[in-house]
Chains A and B, each alone.
Chain A
Amino acid sequence: MTPRRRRMLLIGSVLLGVVVSAGLALRAFEQNLLYFFSPSEVAAGEVPSERAFRLGGMVLDGSVEREAGSLTVSFVVTDYAHQIPVTYTGVLPDLFQEGQGVVARGRLDPSGHFAAEEVLAKHDENYMPPEVAEAVARGREAQGQ
């Protein structure tokens, strides 16, 4: 192979790599433009029934129930408009808490129940020391009263 052909081949493969990765990224996001679906979208029937998808929202306060003697846990995911009951068996991430964000991957059964195979915690972009968080919570309570 002449140096010229070797060069053309290398350039061609780099360009091909760029085009393919850009194409793959775009296709992936077109197919699954939403990384996760909200409970409202699930309720509206906008989710695939035959394949697994991700459900994202907040864990409803007071909805987490752990089954005694097993790793099975059930909770409700809400976007404060609709609610979807979820069951999951396995280890939960440290940040899994009531009132915090969650992304669960799994399938929806016909009764509207979501069976999760994987549960990830989604946190927001706010960072604060524990004392500040307590003060914020107290402030919210005072406003609510």
Chain B
Amino acid sequence: MNRVGARQAVSSRTRPVLSGLMPSLPVWFHRWGSPPHVYRLADRLRPWLGWIAALLIAGGAFAGLVLAPPDYLQGDSFRIIYVHVPSAYLGMMAYVLMAAAAAVGFVWRIKLGHAVAVSAAPIGASFTFLALVTGGIWGKPTWGTYWEWGDARLMFELILLFLFLGYLALRAAFDDQDKADRVSAILAVVGVINVPIIHYSVEWWSTLHQGPTISKLDSPSITMDMLAPLLVMIVGFTLCFAWLVLNRLQGQIVERERDARWLRQLVTERTR
């Protein structure tokens, strides 16, 4: 009896400290964390997401380029807003998803969390890159410059890109996937502080970049005929992001579950 008790004490001590402190998770969470369930769900969702996203982005681009009126001050250069704002928004959302998923993977040792984080990182980096480039292109005819060092909004957006790239570089430094997961998760979670800083940078510091247009709820800053295409584009970009994440996530699940029986079955059924 004594010996068994001692063994139990040892095994409970070697359990990860954090997950011991955290509350246990409800059952649905574990089902959601089950790779075969998520893989099959992704198979069902992917075509819907892809086609709706393509329709919304095509329609939103047409509305933004043709139907929306030119701005009273900026003329037609204002139409860049329809690609710039969705890219910037998705870059930040991708980081929040990456950090949250990495935290879930780190704390509860759910591998799927790390798989989601790895899937979101390159997509988030590309959207952040897009936000920086389209912002520069928009800045030239309006502000008079492509880039302005010292503008808080621009600097923190650049740091967001570096965080994505740093996360990917850090992972590449490990041969052991478990270690890569755990170490890179720390960087992802620490870096999430940058997201609210980006959002509030235009209010906390005096910047060349203007304040928020659509996220403030008081007096409207944009007329409805200009806002509608923007909202369509934001939804379209979000669905496109979801489609991209699901593709990469399925790839990650296949890599990580290569020895699992369900996957072997699935793969042999496919190739047969």
Binding site for B on A (CB under 8 A): 3, 6-7, 10-11, 14, 17-18, 21-22, 25, 28-29, 32-36, 38, 56, 92-97, 100, 103, 118-134
8 closest Cβ contacts across the A-B interface?
A: A93-B144, A133-B72, A129-B69, A10-B173, A125-B213, A125-B210, A130-B72, A127-B222
Cα–Cα, bound, A133→B74 (Å): 12
B104 in contact (CB, < 8 A):
no
Question: Which of B33-41, B47-55, B201-209 participates in binding chain A?
Answer: B201-209
Cα–Cα, bound, A3→B156 (Å): 34
B145 in contact (CB, < 8 A):
yes
Which of A6, A22, A122 lies at the interface centre, i.e. has the most chain B CB atoms within 10 A of its CB? Answer: A122
Cα–Cα, bound, A76→B178 (Å): 62
Which of B173, B191, B210, B212 lies at the interface centre, i.e. has the most chain A CB atoms within 10 A of its CB? Answer: B173
Binding site for A on B (CB under 8 A): 69-74, 77-78, 81, 141-145, 148, 150-152, 155-156, 159, 162-163, 166, 169-170, 172-175, 183, 187, 190-191, 205-208, 210-213, 221-223, 225-226
Residue from A17, A56, A103, A128 in contact with B226 in the complex, judged by beta carbons closer than 8 Å: A128
Q: Which residues of the partner chain B approach A3 to less than 8 Å between Cβ atoms?
A: 175
13 further A-B contacts with Cβ under 8 Å, apart from A97-B73, A129-B226, are A18-B187, A22-B159, A35-B150, A95-B74, A119-B144, A122-B210, A123-B142, A126-B213, A126-B222, A127-B81, A127-B222, A128-B71, A129-B69
Cα–Cα, bound, A131→B207 (Å): 29
Interchain CB contact under 8 A, A103 and B208? yes
Cα–Cα, bound, A71→B211 (Å): 31
